[in-house]
Amino acid sequence: MLKEYTDNLDAMNEPYQILDKEALYRKLGTRFYNKGIYTPSSILVNPASLIVGLANNLPDNVTMYNHTPVMAIRHGSVTQVVTPFGTIRAANVMLATNALSRELAPVTSQQAAMATFASITAPLTAEQRQKLPTMSSWGLTPVNAIAGATVRYTQDHRFLIRQHVTPALNGRITAAQTYQATLLHQQIFNKIYPQLRDVPLISTWSGTISVTRNGAPVWGELKKGIYTAGGCNGAGVSKQTIAGTLLADYALGIDHPLIGAMQQLGKANYLPPSPVLDIAIGVSLMKERYLGRKEV
């Protein structure tokens, strides 16, 4: 898997370094990992700040309606977007709802909603930071995204852990599921950083991603005037920024050389309805967790 990753980096002419256990300790403050790939050109993004920044800098011809959930989309000569406060009529509608698109447009049954969980610690005290080497902020991505843990170290000296994936076909996650994720994250954190067992996790939350059976996106025109960019398969910010930008050009009839590349990624294939889908996803998750059992 690491060889495949370095081959792709070589193809893109991206710099990288292969780090051993001690080199990883100097960067991450843990000897839990035996080998890793460091990519100096990567950057960390706070997704909440990114969204707020984009929303606060929209052009004058864009109107944003906060706290206005879409209840349904009615297709006809003019598409109607139904909200609790009124109906918006438009010639073209673009769905940027990813995992929950199938709730609004049932024809997008090629994708399923999965939930993943994250927890964050309180800022480390000066005494706790003395148990670590001097570190700047960093991000760590596992080989196996299902079984492994994504870890971040922030500029304000917090650790963030993202681990555990579970089906969320109706888009809902219970408090009990979130609590269990908190316990799991604390166990993982203590395993990776045994010297910081006194550091508590102060918040846990979940978010949905969209997965497809064959890894291809759900992208393009669903019906006349209704477009979607879904099926992120876990690579949301980077992949869907490209997908959404190209979708806008596609809907407006603007020729872009990467539209063809997007279409060459293929189309997501059919997913069966519940309960067959639930069973199939459960089996797939069990397989991935077994294959990545040594990662955490």
Residues 22-63 have pLDDT tens digits of: 999 999 999 999 999 999 999 888 888 999 999 999 999 999
Q: Which of 47, 283, 277 is nearest to 170 (CA)?
A: 277
Query: What is the pLDDT, as a whole number, of residue 275?
Result: 85
Helix (H, G, I), strand (E, B) or coil at 197: coil
User: In terms of DSSP H, where are the helices of 193-264?
Assistant: 236-251, 257-263
CB 91 within 8 A of CB 225: yes
Could you tell me if residue 157 is left (phi over 0), alpha (psi between -120 and 50 degrees) or otherwise beta? left
Respond yes or no on whether the N-terminal peptide bond of residue 106 is cis (omega within 30° of 0).
no
Query: What is the pLDDT, as a whole number, of residue 108?
Result: 60
CA 163 vs. chain centroid, Å, equals 11
Rounded Cα distance, 164 and 153, in Å: 19
Rounded Cα distance, 141 and 138, in Å: 10
Query: What is the pLDDT, as a whole number, of residue 79?
Result: 92
Query: What is the pLDDT, as a whole number, of residue 71?
Result: 92
Q: Distance from first CA to last CA of the chain, Å, rounded?
A: 17
Query: What is the pLDDT, as a whole number, of residue 271?
Result: 87
Model confidence band, residue 257 (pLDDT cutoffs 50, 70, 90): very high
- As to burial, measured by CB atoms within 10 angstroms (0-12 exposed, 13-18 middle, 19+ buried), residue 162 is buried
Weakest-pLDDT range from 44-53, 95-104, 156-165, 272-281: 95-104
CB 159 within 8 A of CB 120: yes
Q: What is the pLDDT of residues 204-249, one digit of tens each?
A: 999 988 889 999 999 999 888 999 998 888 887 888 999 999 999 9
- pLDDT(101) > 80: no
DSSP-derived pairing of the beta strands 226-230 and 93-95: parallel
Model confidence band, residue 107 (pLDDT cutoffs 50, 70, 90): low
Domains in the chain with CATH codes: 1-38 (no CATH), 47-110+213-265 (3.50.50.60), 111-212+266-295 (3.30.9)
Model confidence band, residue 196 (pLDDT cutoffs 50, 70, 90): very high
- pLDDT(77) > 90: no
Rounded Cα distance, 109 and 101, in Å: 9
Query: What is the pLDDT, as a whole number, of residue 106?
Result: 61
Mean pLDDT of 167-194: 93
| Distant-in-sequence, close-in-space partners of 221: CB < 8 Å, separation ≥ 6 | 227, 250, 251
Average pLDDT, the chain: 91
Mean pLDDT of 7-17: 96
pTM listed for this prediction: 0.88
CB 81 within 8 A of CB 93: yes
Mean pLDDT of 257-271: 93
User: By percentage, how much of the chain surpasses pLDDT 90?
Assistant: 67
- pLDDT(296) > 80: no
Number of H helices, E strands in the chain: 9, 13
- CA distances to 34, 107, 227 from 259, in Å: 40, 22, 14
Query: What is the pLDDT, as a whole number, of residue 58?
Result: 95
| DSSP code at position 194 | G
Mean pLDDT of 263-279: 89
Q: Which of 211, 230, 209, 233 is nearest to 220 (CA)?
A: 230
Rounded Cα distance, 98 and 81, in Å: 17
Rounded Cα distance, 158 and 278, in Å: 36
Rounded Cα distance, 204 and 222, in Å: 35
Respond yes or no on whether the N-terminal peptide bond of residue 275 is cis (omega within 30° of 0).
yes
